[in-house]
Amino acid sequence: MRSNENTLLLGKKVVLVPYTAEHVPRYHEWMKSEELQRLTASEPLTLEQEYSMQRSWREDAAKCTFIVLDAEKWQAQLSTTEESCMAGDVNLFLTDLGDPSLGEIEVMIAEPSCRGKGFGTEAVLMMMSYGVTKLGLTKFEAKIGQGNEPSIRMFRKLHFEQVAVSSVFQEVTFRLTVNEHERQWLLEQTSHVEEKCYRDGSLESH
């Protein structure tokens, strides 16, 4: 999605930046993990296929992707590369042509040292806030593998309710409708987030 290509979102624990070619090698290394392939229902790709996927997602108006960076690492060293700060990614898929207000959200904290620190929770909250305020979304869905207990607990904590279970795909579907009460709660949870201008793999003022 090109609408977020110049957007950087700065939170307390994580920084969200657009998925660029700079991030592909680290992402490719992550996706060699059989555990991550299972959790994300993904097939391993070659590096060239991964670059092609990054380019296609950037052009696809139905996919909004941010790379999740470790904010502490990112802020500690002005000269550090984003690749060395990468923790995972967060995505919104606007794939229901009959309902443009619905977004499917998914998050992956791929870096083992970054798990269990609340990175995924903040990244999802920031992405939901972006979806509500910038993309006009009012409903979110999350499809999670039945064995992925940490993700299931996280989405329940974020007010999502289970609406379906697929034994075929071994996944649970959660949904959240953002009414006025939920919208206010979401904006309060993300009131600390700063939106900055991101260009060419760097923050203009960073």
> What pLDDT sits at residue 35?
78
For 97-154, what is each residue's pLDDT tens digit? 899 999 999 999 999 999 999 999 999 999 999 999 999 999 999 999 888 899 999 9
- The residue assigned the tokens 């203009």 is 204
Has residue 2 been placed in a domain? no
Has residue 46 been placed in a domain? yes
> What pLDDT sits at residue 147?
86
What 3-state class would DSSP assign to 179?
coil
Has residue 199 been placed in a domain? no
Any bridge partners for residue 174, and if so which? 142, 162
> What pLDDT sits at residue 33?
79
CATH of residue 174's domain is: 3.40.630.30
Report how far residue 118's alpha carbon sits from residue 68's, in angstroms, rounded to the nearest whole number.
Answer: 12
Burial call 40-55: b when 16+ CB within 10 Å, e when fewer = beeeeeeeeebbeebe
Has residue 58 been placed in a domain? yes
Report how far residue 35's alpha carbon sits from residue 54's, in angstroms, rounded to the nearest whole number.
Answer: 21
State how many domains the chain has.
1
**Is the per-residue pLDDT at 2 higher than 60?**
yes
Segments forming the whole domain that contains residue 68: 7-192
Rg (the chain; Cα; Å):
16
Any bridge partners for residue 176, and if so which? 140
